Amino acid sequence: MAAPRVVLTYSDYAALPADGRRYELHDGELSVTPAPGTRHQLVIGNLFVAFHTYVGREHRGVVFIAPTDVILSDTTIVQPDIVWVAPDRLAAISTRGIEGAPTLAIEIVSPFTGAIDRNTKKQLYARHGIAWYWLVDPEAKTVEIHQLVTGRYELRVHAAGDDVLRAEPFDLSLALASIWA
């Protein structure tokens, strides 16, 4: 006889230890990954600086860097590497994190998170209405920009190497070489 599935909630999540691991809840199931590596951190830092500078200068909302809780439901709490909340969504920002869908979620793919980022999180983000989803792969030096269209993500941009990326949904050109450095 199979054991009944235990569904964790935000209160269970909030009680987890601060031990350097990344905890998330995906439809009530606990997901645990090790702390990101140094290359991951360099890429996330470079992207964050570019977006933070642009968004601040243009008054285009707020950019957050992980760990920031995105509470999509009581049983789905994620920590995208970078999150952008457009001006029309600013009310979603609370003391706990972002309550509901941000405008953009960016995941930096690592050896430990590749399958989760490309499958589980992509499906969760689409189902919860995150309008834009980026997958950034430092090893392959690629960026995929996906836009939510009728409940599914459509690939809008695939850039690689040292391409100059039109960073949708922003009016921003981003030299990929600057994020891999």
pTM: 0.95
Rounded to an integer, the average pLDDT of 164-174 is 92
Q: Beta 62-65 vs 98-99: how paired, if at all?
A: unpaired
pLDDT above 90 (res 120): yes
Say how many C-beta atoms besides its own lie within 10 A of residue 80's C-beta: 26
Q: What is the pLDDT of residues 140-155, one digit of tens each?
A: 999 999 999 999 999 9
pLDDT above 90 (res 5): no
> What is the reported pLDDT for 130?
98
Distance CA 93, CA 5 (A): 31
- Scored b (16 or more CB within 10 A) or e, 97-123 reads bbbbbbbbbbbbbbebbeebbeebbbe
**Domains identified in the chain and CATH numbers:** 37-180 (3.90.1570.10)
> What is the reported pLDDT for 96?
96
> What is the reported pLDDT for 150?
96
Q: What is the pLDDT of residues 49-98, one digit of tens each?
A: 999 999 999 999 999 999 999 999 999 999 999 999 999 999 999 999 99
Q: What percent of the chain has pLDDT over 70?
A: 99
The gap from C-alpha 20 to its chain's centroid, in whole angstroms, comes to: 18
> What is the reported pLDDT for 21?
83
Rounded to an integer, the average pLDDT of 4-31 is 92
| Contact present, 134 and 146 (Cβ < 8 Å) | yes
Mean pLDDT of the chain: 94
Helix then strand count (H, E) for the chain reads 5, 13
- Contacting residues for 33 by C-beta, under 8 A, at least 6 apart: 21, 22, 112, 113, 116
pLDDT tier, 1 (very low <50, low <70, confident <90, very high otherwise): low
pLDDT above 90 (res 6): no
Encoded tokens for 71: 């509470």
> What is the reported pLDDT for 112?
85
Distance CA 12, CA 129 (A): 24
CA-nearest of 115, 88, 119 to 102 is 88
pLDDT above 80 (res 3): no
DSSP reduced 3-state for 88? helix
Rounded to an integer, the average pLDDT of 117-141 is 97
